[in-house]
Amino acid sequence: MNPRLRASCLLLFLGSLIPCSLCAQVTNERLLHANDEPQNWLTYSGSYASQRYSALQQINASNVKNLELKWVFQAQSLQKFEATPLVVDGIMYLTQSPDDVVALDAKTGRAFWIYHYATSPASRPCCGIVNRGVAILGDSLFMATVDAHLVAIDAKNGHALWNVKLAEAAAGYAMTMAPLVVKDKVIVGVAGGEFGVRGFIAAFEARTGKEAWRFDTIPKPGEPGHESWRGGDWEHGSAAVWVTGSYDPELNLTYWGTGNPGPDWNPEQRPGDNLYSDSAVALDPDTGKLKWYYQFTPGDPYDYDSVQIPVLVNANWNGAPRKLMLWGNRNGFFYVLDRGTGKFLAGRPFVKVNWASGIDSNGRPILTPQPPGVPTFPGIQGGTNWYSPSYSPRTGLFYLSTWENYATIFSGVNADYREGQRYTGGANTSPIPGADNPAGQRQGPVNTYTEALARGAVVALNPETGKQEWKFDMHDVNTSGILTTASDLLFVGGREGYFQSLDARTGALLWKQNLGGEIIAGPMTYQIDGNQYVSIASGNSLFTFALRQ
Amino acid sequence: MRLRWLSLRALLQSAVICSALALPGPIANAQGQDRAPQYFQSDIQYGAQIFASQCTSCHGENGDMVPGVNFHAGQFKRVLSDNDLRLTITNGVPGTAMQPFTFGASEITGLVSYLRNMNSFSAQGLLVGNPARGRTLFEGAGNCVSCHAVNGKGPRVAPDLGDIGALRTAELIHRTLLDPAASMLPANRPVRAVTLDGKVINGRRLNEDTYTVQLIDEQERLLSLSKADLREFTVLKSTPMPSYKDKFSSQEFADLEAYLLSLRGVK
């Protein structure tokens, strides 16, 4: 055999030893059909429809009691752990605070590589130095950073490929979300709603990092919607974007939720509806052009960010198939929209609400503002928040983590804008003497304010009727995302640190494990060598379970 | 840091005793604040005393002796929010005479409350307590020691108050003495549990989650109960602690509160 042929054969042989997992490319086609490969978890929410639902069914109601811990990844960070990992052909890609990416063997938890990003000390995220995950296309990972950069990383070796700055971290701009890849673009939004930023969603060429388009969530003078602002209020009107959007390839629309107007709690400083704060926006992913918007809380005085995951569902509505968008909003209402047009279809409260008595037929809330000193339900942290909900096409139910019977006494005060300083204008208090406000910051193991402050729950809602099919009560408030599977299991954590599996049809508890740390992330699942795994971040670690062999 | 009560003598000389209980509730004076904008009279009074003992040598009694700073007029150099104020007090200002202060949370709450309301506060209404007299009340007429320990000395039925002055603000202590049931930390509420086999357990809740409850029972045992093993579980909103509203004079309240605020834990 001649030397060249011998060398080629050797290369072929060596190549055959490399697991195909290291060769795989995540194409657009794979992302479009992520549900067809449930052994992987290819996007932050599991698929473009963001249902956080998996077709895997090895773990089921009869064997879930046999789940056992397979491995733990201990993050080198004491910050909040809000990430959902991706799993691509046996490799897990996970972020740890502030902006590191780790590639792990998803079967054992052993690390292949770690990418450390030097986050600027000028960054000042309002509510924790968190990073919720990465996106993938081809062999590239994409990470949004706390100091408002977007970084592409080689998925094979953790080497940075490009790094672009989106905005000034010192001015309060930050990014905490996992990006969304649509076609050849990486789409992200900026946080900073407590610093008077001007929010935007932007798309970047995945190959080069070149900015393709930018959609400002607050229209400037001359643009439609600008009339909803007075004078120069819009310049620091916030409408930040800090959780991942969704995408409908048939409609070619990408959907994102926007945050509170600024200053958060003093609407007297920004009279008007303050578009497009607290809204769902539908954008053309090729151009960033606005196709439609729906504003949940016009002129919001409560910090009811509409920064939730848009859940896309094709289901019957009034007897006819329709492309729906389901939205459990921080303001306490559960909404159903037509995602082709943005038309409001229904809005019903899922927790105690007294800021509005309902939503009128045009989709506008019927306001019932409470007198000064009287508690408003839900409180600052909302009836739910950014925690990922789930929708199971098998049960037809929408599952949501909630804060029950939770209130704040709101009071706005004047706020002066200074770049990089908090711009919130609030004099809010808790109705519970001595309780912190907002109450969402507690991370210790003792629930000091207990049921007096609020309780938590998982609720299962029928999208068509808004009726609560079942409720699983928790003593502490529920800060966890939710996963459902084709075996009609539901996985959810909570602030108490329990990781639980419920019957998705009845809400009955099937299994629980105390992980010892607050769960403020969404569970996900994947499969390797015929074994189904479930992962969840708790405290400062990621825990991965599978059935006992 | 313990209070330097003796240095309040000058303040005491001008103080006219009045009823602390008659003073109004929260005062909203929150221009430019981003949170915690409610100020309470007890905190303001406490802050006034700390200011008099710790701050006047540089800032002056009216808070206007440092150029560019006039607390009375609400004029600050670099402070915008209450949080800024807290950080400035805690960290100091490098390169200036403003040194870092190691105040506890209740002291800082008092100072911030006072600084934000200096223009409307009058020392004429200040009632200053004597912690030594307060201790006598605590151990005597108040009968507090029948339930509360101080740094391990005493029963454990109720919380040990050895660091209550660091944990609770002046306002919260004041309110607790007036209306203990309403001010009790929810986690501390009395609980009654009945096991499936009929055993009754009474105690004070320490923690609770969806599936379990942790408590200290009447025999001072730490118990963790599974709710699945209980026939009955009740959290009571009442408390064995009496209200002292009609029991103590205003001066006695001030003395008792001064004593409780002086309890800052074992250092």
User: What is the per-residue pLDDT across A154-208, written as a single tens digit (0 to 9) for each?
Assistant: 999 999 999 999 999 999 999 999 999 999 999 999 999 999 999 999 999 999 9
**How far is residue B24's CA from residue B45's CA, in Å, rounded to a whole number?**
12
Pick from A60-64, A401-405, A428-432: least confident: A428-432
Same domain, B146 and B166: yes
pLDDT (0 to 100) of residue B10: 36
pLDDT (0 to 100) of residue B61: 84
Residues of A in contact with B77 (CB under 8 A): none
SS3 call for B204: strand
pLDDT at B14 over 60: no
Same domain, B114 and B18: yes
Residues 108-167 of A with CB under 8 A from B: none
pLDDT at B218 over 80: yes
**How far is residue B174's CA from residue B253's CA, in Å, rounded to a whole number?**
8
pLDDT at B94 over 60: yes
Nearest CA-CA partner of A47 in A180, A177, A151, A142: A180
Domain of B63, CATH number, reads 1.10.760.10
Evaluate whether A71 touches A109 at the Cβ level (below 8 Å). yes
**How far is residue A223's CA from residue B179's CA, in Å, rounded to a whole number?**
56
**How far is residue A192's CA from residue A171's CA, in Å, rounded to a whole number?**
8
Full residue range of the structural domain in which residue B217 is found: 190-234
Same domain, B85 and B203: no
Split at pLDDT 50, 70, 90, the class of B187 is: confident
pLDDT (0 to 100) of residue A11: 44
Evaluate whether A325 touches A311 at the Cβ level (below 8 Å). yes
pLDDT (0 to 100) of residue B76: 83
Buried b (16+ CB within 10 A) or exposed e, A1-20: eeeeeeeeeeeeeeeeeeee
Residues of B in contact with A425 (CB under 8 A): 34
pLDDT at A210 over 60: yes
CB contact under 8 Å between A446 and B209, yes or no, is no
Q: Does B102 lie at the interface with A, CB-CB under 8 angstroms?
A: no
pLDDT (0 to 100) of residue A449: 73
What share of chain A in percent tops pLDDT 70? Answer: 94
In a domain, B52, yes or no: yes
**How far is residue B21's CA from residue B241's CA, in Å, rounded to a whole number?**
19
In a domain, B267, yes or no: no
In a domain, B245, yes or no: no
pLDDT at B3 over 60: no
pLDDT at A103 over 50: yes
**For range A378-390, the mean pLDDT:** 96
Nearest CA to CA, how far is A119 from chain B (Å)?
A: 24
CB contact under 8 Å between B35 and A447, yes or no, is no
pLDDT at A21 over 70: no
Split at pLDDT 50, 70, 90, the class of A438 is: low
Nearest CA to CA, how far is A288 from chain B (Å)?
A: 34
Q: Does B266 lie at the interface with A, CB-CB under 8 angstroms?
A: no
Evaluate whether A70 touches A507 at the Cβ level (below 8 Å). no
Same domain, B137 and B258: yes
Domain limit, last residue, from B105, B125, B145: B125
In a domain, B142, yes or no: yes
Same domain, B145 and B255: yes
pLDDT at B123 over 80: no
Digit-coded pLDDT (tens) for A350-373: 999 999 999 999 999 999 999 999
Evaluate whether A201 touches A187 at the Cβ level (below 8 Å). yes
Burial class (CB in 10 A: 0-12, 13-18, 19+), A195: buried
Number of domains observed in the structure of chain B: 3
Nearest CA-CA partner of A347 in A232, A249, A438, A463: A463
Q: How far is CA B78 from the centre of its chain?
A: 28
| CB nearest to B207's CB, from A415, A447, A498 | A447
Nearest CA-CA partner of B117 in B217, B47, B23, B191: B47
Same domain, B31 and B115: yes
Unique residue bearing structure tokens 């050797």: A10
**How far is residue B29's CA from residue B37's CA, in Å, rounded to a whole number?**
7
**For range A314-334, the mean pLDDT:** 97
Measured between CA atoms, the residue of chain B closest to residue A425 is B34
Where are the strands (E) in A270-382, listed by range?
279-283, 290-295, 311-317, 320-328, 333-338, 344-349, 356-359, 365-367
**How far is residue A517's CA from residue A514's CA, in Å, rounded to a whole number?**
8
pLDDT at A10 over 70: no
Domain of B205, CATH number, reads 2.30.30.100
Domain limit, last residue, from B93, B109, B125: B125
Same domain, B90 and B10: yes
Q: Tell me, yes or no, if the pTM score tops 0.90.
A: no
Same domain, B153 and B214: no
**How far is residue A347's CA from residue B248's CA, in Å, rounded to a whole number?**
55
pLDDT at A337 over 60: yes
Catalytic residue set of A = 303
Within 10 angstroms of residue A446's Cβ, the number of other Cβ atoms is 12
Pick from A213-227, A315-329, B122-136: least confident: B122-136
